[in-house]
Amino acid sequence: MDTEVAAITTIFTEFYYFVTVALMFLIHIGFCMYEVGASRRKNHMHTLMKNSMLIPLVTITWFFFGWWIYWAFAGGPGITGGIGHPAPEFAEAYTPWGESMGPRLDDRISGVFWAAFLLFAWTAASIVSGAVIERIRSFAFWLFAILIGSVTWSIDAAWGWSYGGWMVEILGYHDAYASGVIHAIAGGTALGILVVLGPRLGKFREDGTPREILPHNPWLVCIGLFLIYTGFWGFYVACNVPIISPETIDGQITGTTLTATTIYLTPTTLGAITINFLMSLSGGMLVGYMVSKGDAFWTYSGGLAGIITASAGNDLYHPIQALVIAGAGTWAMYKLHFWVERKFKIDDAVGAVAVHGYAGFLGVVIAGFVLWGHPSSPYEGFAVITPWGQFVGAIIMFWVLGFFPAWVLAKILASMDLLRIPREIEILGLDFATTQESEAARQDVIAAKKALV
């Protein structure tokens, strides 16, 4: 920062990521409201704590190994390069004892960049949280939160969401705003847990048809989804590099024009993603309203699914493409949710597998057709975007890194009786004991007041 321009550029970038972190915090508040609202009253405080405590646990494990994995595994390792490929000095610097992990005056970006990625990790874990409410043990859920937040999402980001990732280089994988790398993997993880965990008691009739377990506060659910929309702005802009020169990129771009880029260092603009965010939100809400015949929960969820479907290519789509893709993804995820529920008896309490998993998967695949032939990277030798590259990428996100590791861990925990809460507790409600204590305390105070009269 020895010139004024360098100082302004650096501090602008530092402040830019800082603001994204504050905005993304709203995603977590939204998820908590949504999840608590969707739970029954007898479970709501426990539901809140289950989601809230992923914050410290994912944060510290992100510090211990999540961030290092991102920088160490871009080449596989062993696919396009070894540990640390293509910049081993970063992997070294981002070990918990590395030189970029503590405050230093000559590195103002690492801390805020670390935090922006961490907030993505919270989001991934929080998506899973809603699907499994009212019957998973907190101990088990927090292990899954660490699994997706600090291990599998970090691997998928290294592979498919970094400028040197092997999926980008070989498959031409393009997922600018994380349809696959956050949403499909989170949906796949939730599904992997749900098939082992099983439905809430009473969810299905003896003939296998589902009963509706109503949220205790639909209004809270909808406001939660609204807050997720708000925080999503931070998520989107955090996916960009705000300002960078071709010289710094060191790729094939010529000239000296500074630009914003995606995480792949491919040029885009904040204007592009702003209009596409709003158009895809609109496409999702319009179709969500239509397909659910005006149901508030599915209309709001449709808005989210719309953004998620279009996110893979929202750096490049025309706004009308974003609108139509969002609508198509929302229609498909809604239909798939109820089909899977009936066919496989999957009790996804908040529709997370559909809104995030199916919409994210489809979004990655659709981007392969719409962006076919577009360069995935500014670097020479990287594959272009193709339908087959995107399809393989979607499989990796949803099934290989999402479903499979979660299913294995769920099986292990179930075999140790550490996955699901006891049947009696599920019937009584997770807040039963504390509710009894609160009522006893209340009655005690009432009795004390009466004694004074």
Partner 1 sequence: MSTTPIDSWAVDLADVTFIYPGVGTEVAMTVFAVILWLGWHVWQVKLENETFEQEIKDHGTEDKIREAIDGG
Question: What is the nearest approach in angstroms of partner 1 to the Cβ of residue 13?
Answer: 18
Decide whether 126 or 150 has the Cβ nearer to partner 1: 150
Decide whether 94 or 233 has the Cβ nearer to partner 1.
94
Smallest separation (angstroms) from partner 1 to the CB of 346:
23
Q: Which is nearer to partner 1, 34 or 142 (CB)?
A: 142
Cβ 40 to partner 1, closest distance in Å? 6
> In whole angstroms, how close is the CB of 51 to partner 1 at the nearest point?
15
Q: Which is nearer to partner 1, 139 or 219 (CB)?
A: 139
| Contacting positions for partner 1 (CB under 8 A) | 2, 40-42, 57, 60-61, 64, 96-99, 101-106, 137-139, 142-143, 418, 421-422, 424-425, 427-429, 432-433, 436
CB of 14 to partner 1, least distance (A): 15
Q: Closer CB to partner 1, residue 42 or residue 374?
A: 42
Three-state DSSP class for residue 200: coil
Handedness of CA 64, 67, 70, 71 (dihedral sign): negative
**Residue 387 near residue 354, CB atoms below 8 Å:** no
Using a 10 angstrom Cβ sphere, with 0-12 exposed, 13-18 middle and 19 or more buried, the burial of residue 213 is: middle
* Residue 125 exposure: Cα atoms within 13 Å on the Cβ side: 33
Rounded (5°) CA angle 264-403-118: 45
Other Cβ atoms closer than 10 A to 112: 19
Directed axis angle between helix 185-197 and helix 359-370, to 10°? 150
Question: Which of 328, 337, 385 is CA-nearest to residue 357?
Answer: 337
CB atoms within 10 A of CB 446: 10
> Minimum CB separation from partner 1 for residue 11, in Å?
13
Structure tokens, 241: 């590099």
Q: Which is nearer to partner 1, 105 or 452 (CB)?
A: 105
CB of 380 to partner 1, least distance (A): 35
- Separation CA 283–CA 323 (nearest Å): 5
- Which of residues 65 and 404 has its CB atom nearest to partner 1 in the complex? 65
